[in-house]
Structure 1
């Protein structure tokens, strides 16, 4: 059983007492027998974020929180990447962007309005299949702002309010995904955290897992591999065993990818195996609409990407060729991304001519797609082919790209 870090333990115990950070600071000063302003709320905030370790205050914090000092010392010695998945509350926004206004003067919101929002959310998902993030971000943000305004300013029943929060969470997931595709990673993270807050308030654990898993995926792909891994594990844990099979399969896939980027092949293969086994349990059960795209083909793509990243092209190439042979050509961005993995796997298999031909398709498909994902993958493919610059097909491709 993995332990907690000091940051996680302090926050968990403080929240268990119902204390604010300022209250914990005062109680710690009381335990130390010093002036109440010797330790401020900001310092507690830094401890809970892992920015600082309490050291000199550790024994007094333990006394205030009524926990043996040895437990807090053990937690202080636990590194973040060795810790148990954090509580989902660690990933919520600092403030509460969904707090209703004190005086609501907006119109009454009914079930029909929420259904309209849900239909627009699904419309955005379908649009994302064929339109890249750079072209879709502004409409997505307009929809998100409109939905948040409905919740904050309108009046509604508790049931309608919860349904609207779920719609906001789903809208934030697709809007965050679109922002990430456009290369707006900081904005995407804020959107994801807003969605996590909405889903958390609506007590929709499966949706929390989807949002947190999406944020984990972005973190993993932008260099914060350990942070992404902790988030991916937390997403899976938050969704729980009762989540629909396709949801758990998706979240396991993201855990597998984070392990892959961390160079942990055995753990990655184990998570992939669990994802495949979990997907076989899908049998038409009631599930959220956002899982419509999770199928065996998508899991095979992730499996092939893992094999490619781990330099196992003999396994990656057949899988990718099989999936690409039946892939919808209208989904240009995904087709370009999947072909990019095939190009790298072919280069690893010492097939530079085929790799160059595949890379040519990647560049052609990516040319008119406003996606930072495809742009980054194109750069990765070209860098991988530099090793084969003396091969005529590769030479011509690299010169044209330059």
Structure 2
């Protein structure tokens, strides 16, 4: 019941284009009280189901111009289960062409697909995996059907396989963000196969690096390190600078997650080599368009995360503050993720009060994002702050968000 009320409050508030602070003010006005005893945070707790309005319910209804029954109305049935790659692709080798094909396609079809892939990648900058997994899998199915069910020349065939690989990389990333890790692995492996058949070793390395990153983050650190190093080695020294920087970035993280002093040192060396590779980006060798996001800022993000993971907060905190001061606030998921690393680094720096303030902001951002990555980071922060449970600010935070 509480979750239904919270969802209804949020839906009605957003229909009126009110902020949570505006709704809090209107509730107090409807109740005829002075001093705004209900604030934005209380509205947030109602909407997320952490608290039930109870005595405030009639005033909420009055402020929103609906009856109490409307606020209590049950939500529509949940969406059907997320689709999986198996729902969209044929059994056996999903990239084997059919013997009888329906038509012939040219490079124009490939160009259209490329635009869809790029659009999905841009959408991932501002939306989370839970929002995008269905359209991502539909696009992947459509791309594979195009390749299998139509005839095409060798150049068009390779270009189609390349787009399937690019699409699998972003679709795998989206599935991983939605918490569908086994599904993401299947998608990544399909993409690696497509890229290798297209003889695009740079793309194959990018997809393998994405899978290595997931493995490193989901308890398969040894596999992640092996795959990250293989992606780097297979690409060779002739890989475009941005691609090589990204491969080294993944290697650094894989070493970090593997633990130990020696791996920490190897991680720092890999980060230094990644920075050197990126500095060569202006040397005339063009990098693939899908690596548009790889820049010095992203390397600073990884460097700060490595320092945090290695419990070196004096290096991590300044780096994270610098990154966050320049970051695009519309990229909500990444903002929440980077703030989560800052909260942990502040805790390591024995600044629990400030860590609690940052953690509260992370939780507020994460509550509106259907992303398993942000949800897991919230759990990490709350576990880390347990060491400071006797600090009043931390105790209040833990009491409010115990369910998380």
| Smaller-chain TM-score bracket | 0.7 to 0.9
Report the counterpart of residue 226 of structure 1 in structure 2: 222
1:97 to 94, 98, 105: 94
Report the counterpart of residue 76 of structure 1 in structure 2: none
Report the counterpart of residue 51 of structure 1 in structure 2: none
Give CA deviations for 1:266-287 in whole Å, capped at 9, x if unaligned.
Answer: 1111111111111110116322
Output the CA distance in 2 between the equivalents of 1:360 and 1:239: 42
Output the CA distance in 2 between the equivalents of 1:96 and 1:397: 51
Report the counterpart of residue 271 of structure 1 in structure 2: 270
Output the CA distance in 2 between the equivalents of 1:196 and 1:96: 13
Output the CA distance in 1 between the equivalents of 2:115 and 2:234: 26
Contact conserved, 1:208 with 1:238, CA < 8 A, in 2? no
TM-score, normalised relative to structure 1: 0.76
Is the partner of 1:163 in helix, strand or coil? helix
1:110 to 103, 106, 115: 106
Report the counterpart of residue 25 of structure 1 in structure 2: none
Matched, 1:199 2:195: yes
Output the CA distance in 2 between the equivalents of 1:122 and 1:240: 26
Matched, 1:159 2:155: yes
Give CA deviations for 1:18-70 in whole Å, capped at 9, x if unaligned.
Answer: xxxxxxxxxxxxxxxxxxxxxxxxxxxxxxxxxxxxxxxxxxxxxxxxxxxxx
Output the CA distance in 2 between the equivalents of 1:119 and 1:238: 28
Is the partner of 1:340 in helix, strand or coil? helix
Output the CA distance in 2 between the equivalents of 1:224 and 1:356: 30
Output the CA distance in 2 between the equivalents of 1:363 and 1:107: 51
Output the CA distance in 2 between the equivalents of 1:149 and 1:133: 23
Give CA deviations for 1:304-325 in whole Å, capped at 9, x if unaligned.
Answer: 1100000000000000000000
Is the partner of 2:151 in helix, strand or coil? coil
CA RMSD of aligned residues (A): 1.0
Q: CA deviation at 1:97?
A: 1.8
Output the CA distance in 2 between the equivalents of 1:228 and 1:303: 18
Q: CA deviation at 1:102?
A: 1.5
1:136 to 120, 132, 135: 132
Report the counterpart of residue 357 of structure 1 in structure 2: 357
Contact conserved, 1:121 with 1:170, CA < 8 A, in 2? yes
Give CA deviations for 1:1-29 in whole Å, capped at 9, x if unaligned.
Answer: xxxxxxxxxxxxxxxxxxxxxxxxxxxxx
TM-score, normalised relative to structure 2: 0.75
Is the partner of 1:325 in helix, strand or coil? helix
1:37-186 aligned at under 5 Å gives the runs 96-104=93-101, 106-186=102-182
Q: CA deviation at 1:95?
A: 5.1
Give CA deviations for 1:216-236 in whole Å, capped at 9, x if unaligned.
Answer: 001110011000000000111
Q: CA deviation at 1:103?
A: 1.7
Is the partner of 1:234 in helix, strand or coil? helix
Report the counterpart of residue 241 of structure 2 in structure 1: 245
Q: CA deviation at 1:108?
A: 1.2
Output the CA distance in 1 between the equivalents of 2:251 and 2:92: 28
How many residues in Structure 1 have an aligned counterpart in Structure 2? 308
Contact conserved, 1:205 with 1:240, CA < 8 A, in 2? no
Q: CA deviation at 1:96?
A: 2.6
Output the CA distance in 2 between the equivalents of 1:164 and 1:103: 18
